[in-house]
Amino acid sequence: MSIKISASLDCADYLHLLSEVRKLEEGGVDMLHIDIMDGHFVPNFAIGTNLMRKLRPQTHLLFDVHLMVQDPERFIPLFAELGADIITFHVETTTRVYHLIDLIKKHQKKVGVALSPATPPSVLEYFLPYLDLVLVMTVDPGFVGQRFIPEAVTKVEVVRKMLVEKNRQLDIEVDGGIGEKTVPLLKRAGANVFVAGTSSIFSGKEDVKVAALRFREFCERC
């Protein structure tokens, strides 16, 4: 599976957001990871609809939308209309997984399912063939800058094994504490999409473009 970088927009400098996006484009990232929070599923709020609407015409980067919301069925049509390319919902938020998968596909978007750290990968077994992406959270969802949960590495291994057994090629994305210490472990386990946040591209130690270029080269080389 090819390596993909999804830059976490929640970690960018909102006061200079368009400039940051231009640097991310030049730095070779593949996607913008857009966290949508409702204050219920996670006790936080993040990027709003007006920001997405204004940003969509300004960039060719894919919108990797991560719904951290209760009742995601209500919001899927909205974020499809706003320009999402991938819509990922949390399996913990619904008992109608197949319906949500069909709804996302109806809007001609790629489908992702996210697993919180305490959710076992076995929940994927029956609907894995219908997905385009599995997002394994390596921290509790909702806040940037958390400590990486090492047990997530084993979960990635289990998900990749499930895919091999079902002869399926789809992306495994990882999000939370993704940097030089964790990428090699997760890549060996089978992850190929890395959400870059404060542990890498947005660490503040160097220019965003330079950091993005360095991070991609590291992820491909390690």
Domain containing residue 87: CATH number: 3.20.20.70
* pLDDT over 90 (residue 6): yes
- Token pair of 125, please? 């077994």
Digit-coded pLDDT (tens) for 75-125: 999 999 999 999 999 999 999 999 999 999 999 999 999 999 999 999 999
Q: Check if 175 is active-site.
A: yes
pLDDT at res. 139: 96
- Token pair of 152, please? 């997530």
Binding site: residue ranges?
A: 8, 33, 35, 66, 142-145, 175-177
Binding site for a divalent metal cation: residue ranges?
A: 33, 35, 66, 175
Which entry of 10, 64, 171, 175 is annotated as an active-site residue?
A: 175
Which entry of 35, 38, 64, 171 is annotated as an active-site residue?
A: 35
Mean pLDDT, to the nearest integer, of 139-160?
A: 91
Q: Check if 35 is active-site.
A: yes
Digit-coded pLDDT (tens) for 7-36: 999 999 999 999 999 999 999 999 999 999
Number of H helices, E strands in the chain: 7, 8
* pLDDT over 80 (residue 176): yes
Domain count along the chain: 1
* pLDDT over 90 (residue 56): yes
Q: Which domain holds residue 94?
A: 4-221
Digit-coded pLDDT (tens) for 187-208: 999 999 999 999 999 999 999 9
pLDDT at res. 165: 95
Q: Give 37's strand partners.
A: 68
- pTM of the complete model beyond 0.75: yes
* pLDDT over 80 (residue 143): no
> What is the C-alpha to C-alpha distance for residues 101 and 89, in angstroms, rounded to an integer?
9
DSSP 39: S
Q: Please work out, in degrees rounded to the nearest 5, the angle formed at the alpha carbon of residue 221 by the alpha carbons of 147 and 114.
A: 40
